[in-house]
């Protein structure tokens, strides 16, 4: 049996939203009125937070040294 794929619809966008919901499901349950982020946006925000914390630690290291 051959499976045919329909590439007319954007399946990546659907997967991105579904993964975003799966990652933040507890937050969405507590705050149903707020908009949810997609998985890529969630990962980018986490990456930005990590970079800011790393920069702060880097600056604190050289200030105290």
* C-alpha distance from residue 21 to each of 15, 18, 47, 60, 62 (Å): 10, 5, 18, 36, 40
**Global confidence as pTM:** 0.65
- The tens-digit pLDDT sequence of the chain (65 residues) is 455 555 567 777 777 777 888 888 888 888 888 777 788 888 999 999 999 999 999 999 999 87
- For 19, other C-beta atoms within 10 Å of its C-beta total 15
Q: Is 22 helix (H, G, I), strand (E, B) or coil?
A: helix
């Amino acid at each position: 049996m051959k499976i045919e794929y329909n590439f007319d619809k954007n399946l990546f966008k659907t997967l991105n939203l579904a993964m975003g919901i799966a990652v933040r499901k507890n937050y969405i349950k507590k705050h149903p009125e707020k908009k949810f982020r997609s998985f890529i946006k969630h990962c980018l925000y986490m990456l930005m937070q990590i970079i800011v914390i790393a920069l702060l630690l880097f600056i604190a290291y050289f200030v105290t040294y």
